[in-house]
Amino acid sequence: MSFLLDPVALVLLGFVSGKAYYLLSVFGDRVLRRGVLKKELLVAGAVVVAVFWIYSALLYVGTIYFPWPLPRWYGGIDWMLNSGLPLGLTRSPASDVLALVFFAAYPVWFYAGTRLGLSGHRQTRGQMMSERRRIVIDLVATTFPVGGAIPPGASQVDSAALVESLFKKIPPLFEDALTTILFAFDSRFLVLAFTGRFRRFVDLDGEEATMLEKQKYLEAWNSNPYLVSIAQVLRITASYGYYTSPQVYKLLDYAGPMTPNVPPWFVAGPAATTGDGSGAT
């Protein structure tokens, strides 16, 4: 820790905390109740800043040494002021005043990092749901594109709306887990790992009319042994929206619901013989 490095470290830690908050906030609404998680973020910030304050203050007053770069141990004052660089700064009344100003700014650095981590992300339930809808629309459209042996694409049979309706029918915690998977699937970092492009899934293919990049990314998930189970969940979700569509039923010659009517293929016969469950004829 030093006056040069502390602001960078605090911004980075704030950034990571902001990202973690974003991911967990999917659950935050229900599990921790709205706002509580934000308080926890504040507590995390207070702890981080307090650690930095105490450690850096002890360095600055020369009580402890800084153990880096090993094997050399820097004197605390020297390290705080010069950060291992040949700046030649020494402690003075002026540096004490400056140190106080620096210390006072620590919470600001952390907060700035947090805001950076949260920027561009949905921070309210409404924003999150809107983002999820966007991901679902692109996921189903990619999984079931227009054309082929069953001509309508998912976008033409309103599969995304059916998937959205699924979210209302499943247990809340399960909805949150599924939402988290969708957000992870949409993550720039995972897209980068599989396609080499630092873009969200929904932003792949840009203005292009094709879905080649999205398809390539989806196929990468399906063929990855570590992600295949999660890919399966995504496929099940997309299939729910496509193969329960009345238009697709029709194209498959599937009758759909008949109740309360008896199915047209019902074969009436004589009374059944009794069996004993032994499996023998």
**Which parts of this chain interact with another protein (CB under 8 A)?**
27, 142-145, 147-150, 162, 165-166, 169-171, 173-174, 176-178, 215, 218-219, 222-223, 225, 228-229, 232-233, 235-236, 239-240, 242-244, 248-249, 251-260, 262-263, 265-267, 269-270, 272-281
Q: How far is the CB of 137 from another protein (least distance, A)?
A: 16
Using DSSP, state whether 79 is helix, strand or coil.
helix
159 in Cβ contact with 108 (< 8 Å): no
DSSP letters spanning 239-277? HHHHTT-HHHHHHTT-----TTSPPTT----SPPPP--S
Q: How far is the CB of 234 from another protein (least distance, A)?
A: 11
Query: For the packed helices 228-242 and 172-185, what is the interaxial angle rounded to 10 degrees?
Result: 110
When the beta carbons of 93 and 263 are compared against another protein, the nearer one is: 263
Q: How far is the CB of 178 from another protein (least distance, A)?
A: 8
When the beta carbons of 47 and 258 are compared against another protein, the nearer one is: 258
Q: How far is the CB of 126 from another protein (least distance, A)?
A: 19
**Identity (one letter) of the amino acid at 156?**
Q
When the beta carbons of 108 and 251 are compared against another protein, the nearer one is: 251
The token pair at 152 is 């309508």
Q: How far is the CB of 33 from another protein (least distance, A)?
A: 13
249 in Cβ contact with 256 (< 8 Å): yes
| Pick from 80, 42, 46, 41: nearest CA to 62 | 80
Residue 179 burial (CB count, 10 A) = 19
When the beta carbons of 106 and 167 are compared against another protein, the nearer one is: 167
Strands 65-66 and 74-75: antiparallel
Q: How far is the CB of 37 from another protein (least distance, A)?
A: 16
When the beta carbons of 77 and 218 are compared against another protein, the nearer one is: 218
Distance, CA of 259 to CA of 256 (rounded, Å): 9
Residue owning tokens 């227009």: 146
When the beta carbons of 85 and 228 are compared against another protein, the nearer one is: 228
When the beta carbons of 101 and 280 are compared against another protein, the nearer one is: 280
Q: How far is the CB of 44 from another protein (least distance, A)?
A: 22
81 in Cβ contact with 3 (< 8 Å): yes
Distance, CA of 89 to CA of 77 (rounded, Å): 9
